[in-house]
Chains A and B, each alone.
Chain A
Amino acid sequence: MVATDEELVARSMDGDVDSFNQLVLRWERPIYALAYRVIGRDEDARDVAQETFLRAFRALPGFKGQAKFSSWLYRIALNLCRDWIRRKKRTPLVDMPEGVDITELAAEQGPVESIEDLVARQEMSRIVAEGMKLLPDEQRTAIVLKEYHGLTFQEIADLQGCPLSTVKTRLYQGLSVLRRHLESRGMTSFKSDKES
Chain B
Amino acid sequence: MSITFTCDDKQTLVSYLYGEIDHATRQVVEAHLATCADCASEVMALGDARAGLGLWVPPDVELDFTIVKKSQLPAPNLLRPARWWNTVPAWAQAAAAILVLAAGAAIANVQVKSGPEGFAVTTGWMQPAAPALSEPFDGAAVERRVERALVALEQQLRNEIRAARPQEARATGPVDETTISRVRQLIAESEQRHERALAMRFVEFTRDLNMQRRADLQNIGRVVGSYDGELMRQRQMINNVIRVSATPQQ
Which residues from chain A sit less than 8 Å from chain B, CB to CB? 17, 20-21, 24, 28-29, 32-33, 36-37, 42, 45-46, 49-50, 53-54, 57, 94, 97-101, 105, 121, 124-125, 127-129, 132, 143, 146-148, 152-153, 165, 168-169, 171-172, 175-176, 178-179, 182, 187, 189-190, 193-194
Chain B contacts for A105, CB-based, 8 A: 57
Asked whether B196 is an interface residue with its Cβ less than 8 Å from the other chain, the reply is: no
A99–B56 CB distance below 8 A? no
B residues with CB within 8 A of A: 10-11, 13-15, 17-18, 20, 41, 44-46, 48-50, 52-53, 55-61, 63-69
Given contacts A172-B11, A179-B49, A194-B45, contact A98 B59 (CB under 8 A): yes
> Taking A24-B66, A57-B67, A169-B11 as contacts, is the C-beta distance between A100 and B57 under 8 angstroms?
yes
A189 to chain B, nearest CB (A): 8
A interface majority secondary structure? helix
Given contacts A171-B14, A179-B46, A36 and B69 within 8 Å (CB-CB): no
The one of B11, B20, B52, B64 in contact with A124, judged by C-beta atoms closer than 8 angstroms, is B52
Asked whether B59 lies within 8 Å of A36 as measured between CB atoms, the reply is yes
Give the CA-CA distance A125 to B57 in the complex, in Å.
9
Residues of B within 8 A of A168 (CB): 10-11, 14-15
Is the beta-carbon distance between B58 and A45 smaller than 8 angstroms? Answer: yes
Chain A residue nearest in CB terms to B72: A17
> Which of chain B's residues have a CB closer than 8 A to the CB of A50?
65
In the bound complex, what is the Cα–Cα distance between A171 and B48 (angstroms)?
A: 14
Q: Let me know if A190 and B53 touch, CB within 8 A.
A: no
| A53 CA / B63 CA spacing, docked (Å) | 12
Knowing A128-B52, A193-B48, the reply to whether A36 touches B11 (Cβ < 8 A) is no
Q: List the A side residues contacting B53 at CB < 8 Å.
A: 128, 132, 143, 147-148, 178
A17-B69, A165-B11, A169-B10 are contacts. A42–B59 as well, Cβ < 8 Å? yes
Contact A36 B58 (CB under 8 A): yes
Neighbour of A21 across the interface among B10, B20, B48, B66, CB < 8 A: B66
* Bound-state Cα–Cα, A194 to B39, Å: 11
Chain A CB count within 10 A is highest, among B10, B13, B45, for B45
B179 to chain A, nearest CB (A): 128
Question: B130 → chain A, closest Cβ, in Å?
Answer: 70
Bound Cα distance A21, B53 (Å): 31
Given known contacts A28-B65, A98-B59, A193-B44, is B49 in contact with A182 (CB within 8 Å)?
A: yes
A100 touches B14 (CB 8 A): no
Q: List 19 A-B contacts (CB under 8 A).
A: A17-B67, A32-B61, A37-B56, A42-B59, A46-B63, A49-B63, A49-B65, A50-B65, A97-B56, A143-B53, A146-B18, A152-B20, A165-B11, A168-B14, A168-B15, A172-B10, A178-B52, A182-B48, A194-B41
- A171 CB to closest chain B CB, in angstroms? 5
Q: Which residue of A lies closest to B66 (CB)?
A: A21
| CA A101 to CA B60, docked complex, whole Å | 9
Contacts of A24 in B (CB 8 A): 65-67
Specify which chain A residues have a CB less than 8 angstroms from the CB of B61 in the assembled complex. Answer: 32, 42, 46, 99
Contacts of B68 in A (CB 8 A): 17
Closest chain A CB from B37 CB (angstroms): 9
Q: Across the interface, do B11 and A97 meet the contact criterion of CB distance under 8 Å? A: no
How far is A83 from B132 in the complex, measured between Cα atoms in Å? 81
A128 touches B55 (CB 8 A): yes
